[in-house]
Amino acid sequence: MSDIADRAIWRIEKDVHNAMAHVRKQQMLESDGRCHFCDEQIAPALLFCNMDCRDDYDKEKAALRRAGR
């Protein structure tokens, strides 16, 4: 009976795949202790000071992509 083990491996591979996809999406950004949108000082591991800044940053990026830059 290896069903449970197979399922567990499938689950782990899926999790790793999702994590890798997430990392690739965030690859452009490096945390430097400042919010990437408003330049506020934040904890070193963070990219943005709050959700609003992250959303606005994403929107700005999307707008730039649409503008072809």
In the complex, which residues of this chain contact Zn ion (CB under 5 A)? 35, 37-38, 40, 49, 53
Residue 41 token pair: 């000082």
Of 1 and 45, CB closest to Zn ion: 45
Minimal distance in Å, beta carbon 49 to Zn ion? 4
Minimal distance in Å, beta carbon 24 to Zn ion? 23
DSSP string over 15-52 = HHHHHHHHHHHHTT----SB-TTT--B--TT-S-SSHH
Minimal distance in Å, beta carbon 35 to Zn ion? 3
